[in-house]
Amino acid sequence: MNGSLPGEILLVGDDRLHVVEEGTGTPPVLLTSGLGGAWFDWNAVAELLRERHRVIAFDRPGLGGSPPTGHRPGGLCAEADRLAALARRTGEAVIVVAHSLAGFHAEAFARRYPLLVEGLVLVDPSAEQQSPPHARRLSRLAPAAGLAGHAIGMTGLARFAGPRIRGAVMRRIAERGDVAPPELSRAVYGRAHVLGTLLAENAAYRQLAADLLSLRESAPFPEVPLCVITALGDVRGDGREWRRAHADIAALSPYGRQIVLPHTGHLVQIDRPEVVAEAVDRL
């Protein structure tokens, strides 16, 4: 499938990743997706930034156009290391734009590799104020969840159901619907290992959150520009807790700020790409 996709497969660290680069200019911008996301979810943002920045979108192993690995999804430090390896390829400090779950990865990267960070834009990032219960126990389910997803996919169900599930989810939570052409969605979400990777990452979520809370106690957040974008359009209730949790993240940096979007849903990079691009430009 990779021959028909934009970008290329590169060896980054120990894994082969699908990487799409466009544009020129500094600082470079790394775009990293949330749970189950793919590079094309960032296309509108990349289009707005590529005249001023070198824009790099990538897929974690087993997602998007990246081939799977023979091991479970990386833990928090492994994901931070992956961002560091991508940053080193550019030869410069980078701006990381991270959505949802990838906000954990981006913050860990900033704490572990402060000299590689020019700034962060966290797009409706995951947020946990205390260690989720049973985190380690649930994380042990990640390999089994991945195998289960792969097994389901091998029956042909993923090829049939994966793109339909993606389409249904996008129609529900994205105002613009699915930005991927149907044939591309089928090519990506119809693969057995994508479903397996998604389930494994979901099972590891609580452990990632717990590990980030531990890292906050041992590694300071660097004094770099930080923007947290808060989407309230699909939050239950009045959104006060979600807004407050994101305000706390923005306060990690003396140069932190928060953008609140009262009527925009979780997929800000699809529905309001101009907000994300402007946040990058204002860092």
Q: What is the residue extent of each domain of the chain?
A: 2-131+209-282
Could you read off the pLDDT of 102-113 as tens digits, one per residue? 999 999 999 999
CATH match for 2-131+209-282 among 3.30.565.10, 1.10.3720.10, 3.40.50.720, 3.40.50.1820: 3.40.50.1820
The model's confidence at residue 184, banded by pLDDT at 50, 70 and 90, is: confident
Mean pLDDT across 243-257: 98
Position 165 scores a pLDDT of 74
Position 144 scores a pLDDT of 47
Position 137 scores a pLDDT of 45
- Identify the CA nearest to 150 among candidates 102, 188, 182, 194: 194
Mean pLDDT across 234-248: 93
Residue 157 has pLDDT above 70, yes or no: no
Mean pLDDT across 65-87: 88
Mean pLDDT across 29-52: 96
Mean pLDDT across 240-256: 97
Contact present, 39 and 66 (Cβ < 8 Å): no
CA dihedral (207, 58, 272, 27) positive or negative: positive
Distance CA 194, CA 153 (A): 9
The answer to which of 82-86, 146-150, 158-162, 180-184 has the lowest mean pLDDT is 146-150
**What is each CA distance from 42 to 49, 98, 123, in whole angstroms?**
11, 10, 12
Three-state helix/strand/coil letters over the chain? CHHHCCCEEEEECCEEEEEEEECCCCCCEEEECCCCCCHHHHHHHHHHHCCCCCEEEEECCCCCCCCCCCCCCCCHHHHHHHHHHHHHHHCCCEEEEEECCHHHHHHHHHHHCHHHEEEEEEECCCCCCCCCCCHHHHHCCHHHHHHHHHHHHHCCHHHHHHHHHHHHHHHHHCCCCCCCCHHHHHHHHCCHHHHHHHHHHHHCHHHHHHHHHHHHHHCCCCCCCEEEEEECCCCCCCCHHHHHHHHHHHCCCCCEEEEEECCCCCCHHHHCHHHHHHHHHHC
Position 139 scores a pLDDT of 42
Could you read off the pLDDT of 88-135 as tens digits, one per residue? 999 999 999 999 999 999 999 999 999 999 999 999 999 987 555 543
Q: Please, what is the average pLDDT of the chain?
A: 88
Position 72 scores a pLDDT of 61
The model's confidence at residue 141, banded by pLDDT at 50, 70 and 90, is: very low
